Structure 1
Amino acid sequence: MQTLPIYEPVKRSAFLDVYRGSAVLLMMIFHLCWDLRHFGFIEFDVYSPFWLSFRSLILTLFLSAVGWSTYISLNKTPHAFFSFWQRDIKLLISAGAISLATYLAMPNQWIYFGILHFIFVASLIIRPMAKWPIACALVGGIIMVIYHLTHWLQFPNAFATITHYIPLPERTLDIVFPFPWIGVVFIGPLLGYLNWHKCPTPNNLAISILAFMGRHALPIYLSHQLILFALVAAFKMLLMAFS
């Protein structure tokens, strides 16, 4: 009698967790600086080259990890395609929660297509192709080259056009445009093909913290700004009370 195969859960990659955790840490630093700026502790232009590059680095780490982890899961677990739906539902609910929370807090700047919304859509797009990492990387590389060397994938009036025909705010706290970022997602599977996730990681407290943050990136993303904003606000109130 033929027995049903038993599939063991995919063993997590410590290196990939640290990689993703590094993105989480940088994101927290970015948002802490934004909070400090909001309450007048520091001053800087969020659209300056430094901060735009800082945000781009965070997005690159997060989005390359999306394609990378998809490749690993599809190649280690035969039926991983169907198991992705649990994660998809979590992402969809989380993205909706971010939209609702920001709409209630700041209706003139609420997030309707931020990083979580983009990751949800990008995960669906990359999944059918992630088993062919070289082809994915070629597509991603072509997208990146076209975007940075031509104007073909740059749509400067797209945002204004969308907000003109759809009742959305002209300003938003966070938005991720499809290009060039879908190209970064497509490059991600190549990192898995090159076995970057098998790179050894040092055994120390800092690495352990980053790995923990990488394993719990979604709940940290959903909660960290509430905590940071409240702490900075409380500190501001204390200073005003004793001044």
Structure 2
Amino acid sequence: MNRALPLPSVPFASPAPLRRYDSVDALRGLAMVWMTVFHFCFDLSHLGFWPQNFRVDPFWISQRTVIVSLFLFCAGLGQAIALHQGQGWPRFGRRWLQIAGCALLVSAGSFVMFPHSFIHFGVLHGMAVMLLIARCTAGWGRWLWLAGLVAVALPPVAHQLLAGAWAEAAPWFNGRALNWLGLVSRKPFTEDYVPVLPWLGVLWWGLAAGQWAMAAGRERWVQWPLPRGLRPLALLGRWSLSYYMLHQPVMIGVLTAVAWVSKG
């Protein structure tokens, strides 16, 4: 009697799509909407419609901090969910290449618009580095909470040391070769700056919170149903990278056209 041939092993099967969590996507979508409003106000100021000082005004600085924190916390949550669902390195690598490629495009585009303050290490650059670190440290479990606290605390400590006892080392850490670490005595002159420290701490906290929520009996914390009115936020959150890359060129293009018409 002929025996049935064995089924192909798992490595040859197509990977199952990862399950989406509308609540997490909606939280990321909220960050994108808030970011859009912030960038729209920045564009108005840049084009002279509504002059504001985005570099020193606490109102704008605090909003940027909250927006970036929310975005990176969601990135940590997303990594926890992906790992819980068995996302392998190949799929992670494809997404990572998309983020890294978009970071290079942001640098190139900002160099055209702001040659003296172009973005050499903004949010996408930071995410590319931080996601790799998060992926490699996901096994730390509860220690991620402490690691996040240390990451957040290191920059102000470094700032004090580089402004005092370690002043001779300040030019090294403030230079472009190392300022992406975040251990600086002064921030670089650039349109966006999201160094590894302290922001890795926020992403680590998101990863730790996601791992806690995905543990047995707590998955409901990341899968609560959305009201109908919030579903567009979830859709926006699913396409956050594409939206991020497109929203500023569109807004700047429209506002530039308005400025040109108004002057005419």
TM range (shorter): 0.7 to 0.9
Provide the C-alpha distance between the structure 2 equivalents of 1:135 and 1:158, rounded to a whole number of angstroms: 33
Match of 1:124? Answer: 132
Q: Which amino acid aligns with 1:8?
A: A
For structure 2, the 5+ residue unaligned runs are 1-5, 164-169, 180-187, 214-218
| Aligned 8 A contact 1:14 1:211 in 2 | yes
Stretch deviating more after TM superposition (151-160 or 189-198): 151-160
- Tell me, in whole angstroms, the C-alpha distance in 2 between the residues paired with 1:234 and 1:159: 42
Alpha-carbon spacing, 1:133–1:199, altered in 2? closer, same or farther (3 Å): farther
Which residue identity does 2:78 align to in structure 1? S
Q: Deviations over 1:38-78 (max 9, x none)?
A: 1222232212111111000111011111211111111112x
Amino acid at match of 1:200: P
Going from structure 1 to structure 2, the CA distance change for 1:4 and 1:160 (only over 3 Å counts) comes to closer
The residue that corresponds to 2:9 in the other structure is: 4
Task: Structure 1: give runs of 5+ residues left out of the alignment.
Answer: none
Contact 2:28 2:70 in 1 (8 A): yes
* 2:196 paired residue number: 178
Q: Choose the corresponding residue for 1:191, options 189, 209, 212.
A: 209
Partner of 1:224: 247
d(CA) in 2 for partners of 1:37, 1:232: 11
Bigger mean CA deviation after superposition, 48-57 or 105-114? 105-114
Over the aligned positions, Cα root-mean-square deviation in angstroms equals 2.5
Of 3, 8, 27, the residue aligned with 1:19 is 27
Change (3 A) 1:55 1:159: farther
> Structure 1 127/163 Cα, relative in aligned 2: closer, same or farther at 3 Å?
closer
Partner of 2:83: 74
Partner AA of 1:162 in structure 2: G
Structure 1 position 182, deviation (Å): 0.8
Q: Which residue of 1 aligns with 2:59?
A: 50
Higher Cα radius of gyration: 2
- Paired with 1:165 and 1:73, the residues of 2 have a C-alpha distance of 31
Over residues 119-176 of structure 1, what are the superposed CA-to-partner deviations in whole Å (9 max), with x where a residue is unaligned?
Answer: 00000000022244422122112333455xx52466664688415999xxx6221111
The residue correspondences of 1:134-145 to structure 2 (distance < 5 A) are 134-145=142-153
Partner residue, 2:216: none
The amino acid of 2:157's aligned partner reads H
